[in-house]
Amino acid sequence: MADRNPEAVRALLKPATVRARAHEMLQLGLAGRLLHFNVHPERLEACADDVLETIRANYPTLEIPFHARWRHFVLAGDDRWARLDAEACFTDAGGRGRAAYDLAIVSVLLDAGAGPDWRYRDPQTGREIGRSEGLALASLDMFAAGLFSADPADPYRADASALRRLDGVGLAAGFQAGPGNPLLAVEGRAALLNRLGEELERQGMARPGDLFDRFAGAAETGTVRAGYMLGEVLTTLGGIWPSRLTIAGVPLGDTWRHPLIAPGEPTAGLVPFHKLSQWLTYSLIEPLQWAGISVADIDGLTGLPEYRNGGLFLDSGVIALKDEADRARAHEVSSPLVVEWRALTVALLDEIATLIRSRLGRTREELPLAKVLEGGTWAAGRRIAREKRVDGGPPLAIVSDGTVF
């Protein structure tokens, strides 16, 4: 039925559908009808306590920035992007915006789970940094060194032709990865950037930063909507994701099947997330703001269904496995268990944000979801993971190719 209804299929690319189907999953959980999880809403208040404790520790004045890649370019108070920005001496806001978009898009696409053993040794301080922050710093250093540029005289860019030719060996070297410093899915990350270069060229785009000009041009009154940005990101990047659903000619990216969702509808059984695309969209907001362009309806985007936010709810008991033996198994991202976990995460992030605003006496405008995530849920999930597991890893083992988690 869906392949004869392209409009219903395209609706799966909208954050409103991500949110609606996530809350449908939550209602199934509250009714005890899910296949793999029970939901314990009475534990949300204690979970909110943990998140509030984290917010007050990290941002005592409650001046919280957006959850975006730019936070990961700051090492011990040293803003490496700001330093690169000053050294580059971009001639205008457009040049700066295109470079910022090149960096953000490449860095976010490289930001899948690194694994517990990988570390990046910062050449400037000698510090060894793992996980998302280490991936970010490594990607920034590769960007500054011109690894993604096709012009040796202009390193601060990412060109489609250079991305198309990038190989796993070069990327592994940039990440300092090898047998003694294993990084998950290096070849998968390189292949993703290869497909990005191919897709940009297919669309007549020279670099990811061309999206900055598209958004700036769409801001006729000085404002662009976050939902429009996500739609353009999904349209531009839709062809890069491997082995995913395409229905009615529409690549659906981070969309998966679950037998209980939306029965009787044209797109029954389909659950969209678009986690990396939404993370990327959050990260593309600030460069527009730096250029004097406002971004409206940021709260129309959803929370991010990744293992830090998802781990927060599982580790705090808000959700619980029906079969504890599932903790010892590895799960494919396409499995109904992982789909349930991710959808519950999206819906529960909305619930926790409402609780946090109520506790702090803040409105949605004053404390949007993007700030609750940053303040917030992601850091609290990481902290609880470190308390519960020696390696600080996720509570479930996920088999991923580096393009989802």
Q: What is the pLDDT of residues 138-148, one digit of tens each?
A: 999 999 999 99
pLDDT at 111 (0 to 100): 87
- Does residue 404 sit within a domain? no
pLDDT for residue 239: 84
Q: What average pLDDT score do residues 46-61 get? A: 96
Spatial separation of the C-alpha atoms in residues 395 and 312, rounded to whole Å:
9
For tokens 């939306």, the residue is 262
In this structure, is residue 21 part of a structural domain? yes
- Residue 405 in domain: no
Amino acid 243: pLDDT: 66
pLDDT at 63 over 90: yes
Percent of the chain with pLDDT over 90: 86
What residue ranges in 248-386 does DSSP mark as E strands? 250-251, 255-257, 270-272, 294-296, 319-321, 330-332
Query: In this predicted structure, what is the pLDDT of residue 357?
Result: 96
Name the band, by pLDDT with cuts 50, 70 and 90, for residue 112: confident
Specify the pLDDT at position 399: 86
Looking at residue 249, its pLDDT comes to: 87
Note the pLDDT of residue 402. 61
Q: Are 346 and 18 in contact (CB under 8 A)?
A: yes
Coil, helix or strand at residue 396 = coil
Identify the pLDDT of residue 82: 96
Residues 167-195 have pLDDT tens digits of 999 999 999 999 999 998 899 899 999 99
- Using left for φ > 0, alpha for ψ between -120 and 50, and beta otherwise, residue 129 falls in beta
Q: Which stretch of 89-103, 106-120, 309-323 has the lowest confidence by average pLDDT?
A: 106-120
| Residue 105 pLDDT > 90 | yes
As a whole number of angstroms, the distance between CA 5 and CA 194 comes to 32
> For the residues 192-208, what does the mean pLDDT come to?
96
267-295: per-residue pLDDT in tens? 999 999 999 899 999 999 999 999 999 99
Q: What is the pLDDT of residue 5?
A: 84
Least confident among 26-30, 109-113, 357-361, 400-404: 400-404
* 81: in domain: yes
Among residues of the chain, what percentage have pLDDT more than 70? 97
Q: Which domain holds residue 147?
A: 2-399
Which of 161-165, 305-309, 310-314 is the least confident region?
A: 305-309
DSSP letter for each residue of 279-290: HHHHHHHHHHHH
Instruction: Give the count of beta carbons closer than 10 Å to the beta carbon of residue 363.
Output: 9
Residue 109, pLDDT score? 92
32 located within any domain: yes
In this predicted structure, what is the pLDDT of residue 220?
A: 81
DSSP state, residue 375: I
The mean pLDDT value for 112-126 works out to 91
Residue 128 pLDDT > 80: yes
308 occurs within a structural domain: yes
* 183, part of any domain: yes
Q: What is the predicted pLDDT for the residue at 405? A: 60
Instruction: Please state, in angstroms and rounded to a whole number, the distance separating the CA atoms of residues 194 and 374.
Output: 30
Q: What does pTM read for this prediction?
A: 0.92
DSSP 8-state secondary structure symbol assigned to residue 121:
E
| Domain assignment present for 188 | yes
Q: How confident is the model at residue 251 (pLDDT cuts 50, 70, 90)?
A: confident
Q: What is the mean pLDDT of the chain?
A: 94
Alpha-carbon torsion (199, 204, 205, 206), positive or negative = positive
Q: What is the mean pLDDT of residues 370-393?
A: 93
Q: Phi and psi dihedrals of 33, rounded to 5?
A: -105, 0
Judge whether residue 244 has pLDDT over 80: no
Q: In the chain, how many domains are there?
A: 1
